[in-house]
Amino acid sequence: HGESSRAMPDSHDSENLKSLLLSETKQWRALAIRSAACLYRLRGILTYRSEHSTYGQKTKLTPEEVRASREAINIFAPLASRLGMHRLKNELEGTAFKILYRRQYEHVMALSRETRRSSRLPGPVGINSVSGDTALGMTIGEGMKSVLSSVKQELSELLRNDKTFAAYADNVILSARVKEPFSLWKKMLRTGAKRILDVPDSLALRARVEGNKMSSNEDKEVIRARERA
């Protein structure tokens, strides 16, 4: 319980501080800089602890290191996400996770490095896009990325060749992701999953469709509303 409390500060306090930052800081650049500065501090902590470990034994975290990591997870990562800076959000969570929960971080990473023993890679999305000799020798993480890449390409071709869809869609933006270590760990705790492939949304594919104009004078707001419908 002592270790788990590291990343569980009073949620009311965290929300209050996030609201204060958002209300007091009018420019999004200032919030982005503060979030990036938090990541810089975390990287410094990792470097220092790596250089000062004794025979591979990690010393106990200082209160300052715990506070910086907790702020990253509970304040600056959500702020970065709200600003649309998802890569920064993932790096903040991942680095803080590595500092606060070193053993759990290494466990999740070890699971992703496991090698498939079967010749097929079933995934949470219910497909077997990687099969035969291709899947053999792949780690779980490599296989998941390969599955996403294959499905993304197949879906892109399918939509591009669909004449009915093309008549209504001006552009389609596909994005794919493998769940980040910190998010995987949280989901595994909630669901009781023992393996990464048991996490339902460990893989995700998103398609953003931009609609065609139905008439030459159609307003952009009408197009956006049709996209959301």
pTM over 0.85: no
Q: End of a domain among 43, 72, 100?
A: 100
In this structure, the answer to whether residues 89 and 149 fall within a common structural domain is no
Task: Among 36, 71, 100, identify where a domain stops.
Answer: 100
CA distance 109 to 73: 19
* Residue-wise pLDDT tens digits, 58-86: 688 999 999 999 999 999 999 888 888 99
Task: Check which CATH number belongs to the domain holding 78 and give it.
Answer: 1.10.3210.10
Judge if 146 and 90 occupy the same domain: no
Higher pLDDT, 26 or 185: 185
Cα separation, 84 vs 32, whole angstroms: 10
Residue 137 falls in which region: left (phi positive, over 0), alpha (psi -120 to 50) or beta: left
* Rounded CA separation 175/207 (Å): 6
Instruction: Tell me which residue range forms the domain holding 198.
Output: 140-228
Of the candidates 100, 132, 157, which is a domain's last residue?
Answer: 100
Domain check: are 145 and 218 in the same one?
A: yes
Place of tokens 């290191």: 65
Query: 113-157: per-residue pLDDT in tens?
Result: 876 554 444 444 443 444 444 455 678 778 888 888 888 888 888
Q: Which two tokens stand for residue 74?
A: 């509970």
Mean pLDDT for the stretch of residues 185-214: 82
**Do 144 and 86 share a domain, yes or no?**
no
- Considering its fold, how many domains does the chain have in total? 2
DSSP category for residue 115: B
Report which of 109, 86, 87 is spatially closest to residue 97, judged by C-alpha positions: 109
